[in-house]
């Protein structure tokens, strides 16, 4: 699995007034599921799509009738 790097361009050192939001917002998901499915090919596979300090999201593709492997949340 590739290592993901997050670059934080601005650190708050004091109270900071709001900044203008970008057109698509800072939390816009830029992963297109159809593109990822095409890239990964036929199941079975899994791919981490979000990993930050609050969220961990993995897209899992199983073969039809393959069921789920044991995992915990």
With respect to residue 50, please indicate whether it lies within any of the assigned structural domains: yes
Q: How many CB atoms lie within 10 A of CB 37?
A: 15
With respect to residue 69, please indicate whether it lies within any of the assigned structural domains: no
Do 45 and 29 meet the contact criterion of CB atoms below 8 Å apart?
Answer: no
Q: How many domains does the chain have?
A: 1
With respect to residue 55, please indicate whether it lies within any of the assigned structural domains: yes
Mean pLDDT, each 10-residue run in order, the chain (73 residues): 76 78 65 90 92 85 86 76
- The token pair that represents 33 in the structure block: 């599921």
Distance between start and end Cα atoms, the chain: 20
What local confidence, expressed as pLDDT, does residue 46 receive?
Answer: 92
Domain that holds residue 38: 30-63
pTM: 0.55
With respect to residue 9, please indicate whether it lies within any of the assigned structural domains: no
With respect to residue 15, please indicate whether it lies within any of the assigned structural domains: no
Give dist(CA 60, CA 43) in Å, integer: 9
Give dist(CA 33, CA 51) in Å, integer: 16
What local confidence, expressed as pLDDT, does residue 20 receive?
Answer: 66
């Amino acid at each position: 699995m590739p290592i993901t790097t997050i670059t934080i361009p601005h650190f708050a050192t004091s109270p900071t007034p709001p900044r203008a939001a970008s057109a698509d917002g800072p939390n816009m998901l830029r992963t297109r599921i159809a593109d990822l499915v095409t890239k990964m090919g036929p199941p079975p596979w899994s791919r981490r799509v979000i990993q930050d300090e609050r969220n961990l999201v993995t897209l899992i593709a199983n073969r039809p009738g393959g069921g789920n492997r044991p995992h915990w949340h």
